[in-house]
Structure 1
Amino acid sequence: MLNEAKSVSCSCGMESSDENLFKKLDEILEEYKYKDGGLIPVLQIAQGLFGFLPEDVLRHIAKKMDKPYSEVAGVVGFYSFFSTQPRGDNVIRVCLGTACYVRGGKQVLDSIKKELSIDVGETTEDKAFSLEVARCFGACGLAPAIMINDDVHQRVKPARIKQILAPYYETQMEEA
């Protein structure tokens, strides 16, 4: 997965990575620009292509879909799925819904922040992890809960954070 769009300039006649991504995005925009409710699928696909939604991509989508930039940016800001910053390979979401909060979700969040040396909304320097807060995973009876990518971890204890993260570090090392 691309973590950020990179522009490569060379005199060999090859197009830059950004240009290729924008061409793919334009193909998607042609398919969705007149469909009711097409903005969200376009944003999801664009985030998949670029790894996140930088401002130039949002402006491009707004222009091609004939929508105000404020509408496009507003949708991105409303839905937590979308990110305007590069995300790590592993996205950690800590539930702070009522049940999780009452059962120690805040302490779990603090433990993760300490372990990774990042705050909510940030990504580790090695791009291995990003940290986010969520409101409910539907696992209230087994609170507190966190999600790492699509994996739900339940009854999480702050003292076990290093152990929970270990397999995700190992996956990073294998892919490197």
Structure 2
Amino acid sequence: MILTPLRSRPVEAGVGLARAVFTSYWPALVIGFIQASILYGVVLVIGLRPTHPVGMWLFAVLVSATFIAMIQAINAIFGETVGRVVTLAFLMLQLVSSGGIYPVQTTAGPIQALHIFDPMTYTVNGYRQLSVAVSVDSRLWVAIDVLVGILLVSLAASTLSAWRNRVYTMDRLYSMVVV
């Protein structure tokens, strides 16, 4: 399933803005929940035993919900075509600057500067805390706070975009970028 930015029918029908956003968000969220559960099952099947199993599964669901909301917001703000390109570029930056693949200290200076602002950094920190740490410390709570904050900001951005999309403009009728 490709996540559409916002379904146009509820936005144009005049339903509540939050309802219009959740109408588009809900199906992807269900699929993300299933994917997070499958990922957790694979982790168990390959023999990894997280020190906090329930917390790790709940964190995987939070991560999925957050990144789905973020992708929806990007697509809603920039439009489907440009949003996909922006999302792909953002994903590449996140993979390099998160410190999940290799240490951030081995990367170039600009990438190191992005590390603190990268949502994937907090995802990696949370997974590390829940999978191998005997007792969790503040890094997990910071990761949860940041991801919940990004989730809420993303849903708010999608809601504002739904409000903006209630009025048709020439740019919406005749898009400059056509796939």
The normalised TM-score by structure 2 is: 0.23
The structure whose RCO (Cα within 8 Å, separation 6+) is larger is: 2
In terms of fraction of residues, the more helix-rich structure is 2
The normalised TM-score by structure 1 is: 0.24
